[in-house]
Every structure is written in structure tokens, then in C-alpha cells.
Amino acid sequence: METKLISVQKEVSLPAFPKGFHLITNLVIKELPELKHVNVGTLHVYIKHTSASLSINEDADPSVRSDFEKFFQKLVPEREPYYTHTSEGPDDMPAHLKASLLGSSVTIPVNDGRLLMGTWQGIYLGEHRNHGGNRKIILTLLGSSS
Amino acid sequence: METKLISVQKEVSLPAFPKGFHLITNLVIKELPELKHVNVGTLHVYIKHTSASLSINEDADPSVRSDFEKFFQKLVPEREPYYTHTSEGPDDMPAHLKASLLGSSVTIPVNDGRLLMGTWQGIYLGEHRNHGGNRKIILTLLGSSS
Amino acid sequence: METKLISVQKEVSLPAFPKGFHLITNLVIKELPELKHVNVGTLHVYIKHTSASLSINEDADPSVRSDFEKFFQKLVPEREPYYTHTSEGPDDMPAHLKASLLGSSVTIPVNDGRLLMGTWQGIYLGEHRNHGGNRKIILTLLGSSS
């Protein structure tokens, strides 16, 4: 049986979110009607910014996302006396650090036309600036066509 | 010369591990006899849970893995007074945080039928719950067939 | 229209860098003349070491990279009394921990022959040893050919 390559890529502009962690799974899926044509593959989600992050975590209880914000705010404090990159405001250098601690992309397996995530998993956008505005993400679907 | 796509995907249930960091490289490789058919590609390993993690680190000396457990236990403490997601026990919220700090997947290059890791590299399962039970991972191999 | 698979893989030896964070975007791109043949795909960059890391962050202002070094030096201290993996020097165990916090690989979308990064994004090598020497990375390009 021959296996044909499917490759799809889209740039998506997200709505502006307040500082904190936000579920974007449904926003991603609705941009990808082509998912249904993939037999086996991966979806790569990449954020084109250095002060916001992408990760995978619990999608059911919003208290997880608010505890994330409190934890990371404490782990990466603002106004550390040793910061030298301070010209863009006190939230900027911590935002860069959080972006690298959490990551700039996630890759999710795709099977038989759908994302193969765990029951309680979702895609988190970490908005680490006070006024981050619209963030652009790139979706890349690679795999075999069904 | 024509290059043909190879795409293989498997769900694997891992044995239950105690809280801490564990090498799963051999468990992964023994599930993938198809590796030998890949000329150039990647292996994506994804965990379908939000309180366990996957990462790459030193596979030779077990003291690295026990120091990992001590470090992350200190970095992400239990029973922080500001946690609100506490209904599933004191190890639950720290487990979610560790999962996003360390990551939910690793991607490893594949060349000529084998994983192209460094000499001392292995795949770490981070089990962050006291009683996490069996964890499910998804292996996705994409590349050109040899 | 038929979509053909392109798969390219290279091992690259980086020059020795001092401890800290360093931009390697241009070193990566100059090794990949094949990029121009990719229509849609991903570039996976993987480091074959457990005491150095790869991440994506701000490429314009070097003060971000020096603040990164100071932050991670404080977040993951040397000579913690509970470390047991100490035979390779005080910078070794922190280097392993930083490698897993930051990650061993990055994946970047590719479109129409170029890396689809944000305007201010670059690839950071995190050199976490005092004398890490030459580091080997593996570049894997997968996608559809143009």
C-alpha cells in the first residue's frame, strides 16, 4: 500500500489575552479542517514571539491555570536587581525567561483525523506580558494521508 | 532516486513507576521494530498525561536521576499557601507544574534505522505523582524509508 | 498535484562556546542549502549532549542572553548540599538540570524555503559547562518539496 505525504501549514492570529495561561485547543482545531485527511502524523504548533509560550496541561479545571500564573510569577520575579534588559518594562525580561522555561512550541500526535491527546490535556498559551496583544502561531501538519 | 514516506504510530502502556525519574529508552526501542526501515526521520514520543513528563538526560549514572527528583521537589514545593487546585492531593498541583517545566514530549532524530542520540543520552519519564499508575505514551515515527 | 517528501539530515560540530547563552541561528542556516527546496515542513535541531540546551528566544539585544545566564545560575545553584552526582565538578549537575528545564531540541516551521520564525527570534545554545568544548547538533528537515 502506498503512503502519500500530507503537509499543511497555516499562520493564525490569536485574540489578545490578558497575562496568564489560556486554553487554545479549540482555536487551533477549528483552523485545521485538513486534520481529517491525516492518517498518521504530527501537528506542530509554534509561537512567533519571545515573551509568550506554548505548553500542554490540564484543560478541565481553571484553577490549574490560575495556579500556573502564580507559580511562574514567583519563580521568575520582576525587577531582579541583576536584570540589565529592563528598557521594555518590568514584565519583559521575566516574559523572555518564562518563554524558554515553558517552550515555544508543542508537537501533538495525530491519528485517524484527530489530535491524539490525553482526556484531560489541552494546549496552553502562556501570555507573559501585561499587554501582549495578538500573538501569531504557525500550525504545521505532517503525516500520511488517509 | 525517489524518497518514500514512512509513518508509524503506536500507543504504549508503561509499567507503573514510583515518583521520580526513570529511563525508558529501551522500553521505547523494543516497541519499534519499524525503526530499521527508516533512512532519515524523527521519532516523537508523547505522554498522554498532565502530571508526568518526558525529557532527555544522562543515562549512565543513576545519581543524576535521584538528584533530579530532589531538585524538582524543591523547585516546585507541595502545599504552597497560594495553590487553589488542591482537591486531588498535595502532589497534584506540583505534578502539573513539573510536567510543563520539563515537557510533554521529546523528538529524537532517526538515521539509518536507529535513534541518533548522544552516547550518554536517554529518555527520562518524570513520574510526578505518588501513585501515578500506568502511563500511556504515543510513539510517532516519520521519515523516509530506506 | 503530487506532494513529494524531502528529508535531509546533518550532524554539525559547533565551535566551543564559553558558559552562557549564544545565538546559533546563522550557523544552522548556513549548513542547510537544502532549505530552499522545502515548500512546507519543519526543521528539528537536536543537541547530542546532556549538559547543554537549545531554546528559542530574543535575538536582538545581547543583554537578554546575559540575563538568562544570571537567572539560570541562580535558579539552579552549584554545590547544593543534597547533590550526590558531584564527581565531574560543581558545574556538572546544574548543567544536567538546566538542559532538561530548557530542552534538548527545538522544532521550527519551514515555509517556502526559509525558517518561519518571528522577527526577533533566534536559536539559543545554552552552554552550561565551564569547558563544554565542541557540541554536536543534528539538523533534520522534513517536509514537502517545492
Q: Is A135 in contact with A52 (CB distance < 8 Å)?
A: yes
Nearest-by-Cβ selection for B57 from C5, C100, C107? C100
What percentage of chain C reaches a pLDDT higher than 70? Answer: 99
C-interface mutation test, from B37, B71, B111, most C Cβ less than 10 A away: B71
Q: Which residues of A touch B4 (CB under 8 A)?
A: 3
Q: What's the whole-number mean pLDDT along residues A18-32?
A: 98
Asked if A44 and C68 come within 8 Å (Cβ–Cβ), the reply is: no
Question: How far is Cα C62 from Cα A69, in angstroms, rounded to an integer?
Answer: 27
Instruction: Report the predicted TM-score, pTM, of the whole model to 2 decimal places.
Output: 0.98
From C7, A20, C1, A42, select the one nearest B39 (Cα to Cα). C7
Q: Where residue B146 falls among pLDDT bands split at 50, 70, 90? A: confident
pLDDT in tens, B109-139: 999 999 999 999 999 999 999 999 999 999 9
Is the pLDDT at C82 greater than 60? The verdict is yes
Ramachandran bin of A104, using left for φ above 0, alpha for ψ from -120 to 50, beta for the remaining angles: alpha
Which chains reach chain A with 3 or more Cβ–Cβ distances below 8 angstroms? Answer: B, C
- Interface contact A93, partner C, CB < 8 A: yes
Nearest-by-Cβ selection for B50 from A39, A58, A74? A58
- Interface contact C5, partner B, CB < 8 A: yes
Residue B121 Cα to chain centre, angstroms: 12
Q: In the structure grid, which three cell numbers stand for residue C111, read together?
A: 515555509
Interior/surface letters B5-41, b for 16+ CB within 10 angstroms, e for the rest:
bbbbbeebebeebebbbbbbbeebeeebebbebbbbb
User: What is the model's pLDDT at position B3?
Assistant: 81
From A18, A13, A10, A3, select the one nearest A126 (Cα to Cα). A18
- Interface contact A70, partner B, CB < 8 A: yes
User: What is the model's pLDDT at position B2?
Assistant: 63
pLDDT in tens, C2-38: 689 999 999 999 999 999 999 999 999 999 999 999 9
Q: What's the whole-number mean pLDDT along residues C43-65?
A: 98
Q: In the structure grid, which three cell numbers stand for residue C49, read together?
A: 549532549
Question: How far is Cα A114 from Cα A29, in angstroms, rounded to an integer?
Answer: 9
Give the list of residues 6+ apart from residue C81 with CB closer than 8 angstroms, or none.
none
Work out the minimum CA distance from C140 to partner chain B, whole angstroms. 7
A-interface mutation test, from B3, B8, B9, B14, most A Cβ less than 10 A away: B9
Asked if A46 and C116 come within 8 Å (Cβ–Cβ), the reply is: yes
Is the pLDDT at A102 greater than 90? The verdict is yes
User: What is the model's pLDDT at position C29?
Assistant: 98
From A81, A79, A25, A78, select the one nearest A55 (Cα to Cα). A25
Question: How far is Cα C145 from Cα A84, in angstroms, rounded to an integer?
Answer: 44
Minimum Cα–Cα distance from A61: chain B residue: B85
Q: Which residues of B touch A105 (CB under 8 A)?
A: none
Give the list of residues 6+ apart from residue A95 with CB closer than 8 angstroms, or none.
A50, A51, A52, A128, A129
Give the list of residues 6+ apart from residue B87 with CB closer than 8 angstroms, or none.
none
From C80, A70, A133, select the one nearest B85 (Cα to Cα). A70
Work out the minimum CA distance from C137 to partner chain B, whole angstroms. 9
Question: How far is Cα B15 from Cα B30, in angstroms, rounded to an integer?
Answer: 14
A-interface mutation test, from B14, B104, B107, most A Cβ less than 10 A away: B104
Nearest-by-Cβ selection for C140 from B42, B63, B70? B42
Nearest-by-Cβ selection for A144 from B7, B76, B138? B7
String of DSSP letters for A53-103: EEEEEE-S-HHHHHHHHHHHHHHS-SS-TT----TT-TTHHHHHHHHHHH-
Q: Is B124 in contact with C103 (CB distance < 8 Å)?
A: no
- Interface contact C90, partner B, CB < 8 A: no
Q: Where residue A116 falls among pLDDT bands split at 50, 70, 90? A: very high
Nearest-by-Cβ selection for C118 from A6, A8, A49? A49
**Which run of H or of E encompasses B72?**
helix B62-75
Number of H helices, E strands in chain A: 3, 8
pLDDT in tens, B16-45: 999 999 999 999 999 999 999 999 999 999
User: What is the model's pLDDT at position A146?
Assistant: 85
Q: Which residues of B touch C49 (CB under 8 A)?
A: 118, 121
- Interface contact C104, partner A, CB < 8 A: no
User: What is the model's pLDDT at position A2?
Assistant: 62
Return the bridge partners of B5, or none.
B144
Work out the minimum CA distance from C142 to partner chain A, whole angstroms. 9
Give the list of residues 6+ apart from residue A100 with CB closer than 8 angstroms, or none.
C55, C56, C57, C68, C102, C124
User: What is the model's pLDDT at position A72?
Assistant: 98
Q: In the structure grid, which three cell numbers stand for residue A3, read together?
A: 503512503
Rounded to 10 deg, the angle between the C62-75 and A92-102 helix axes is: 70
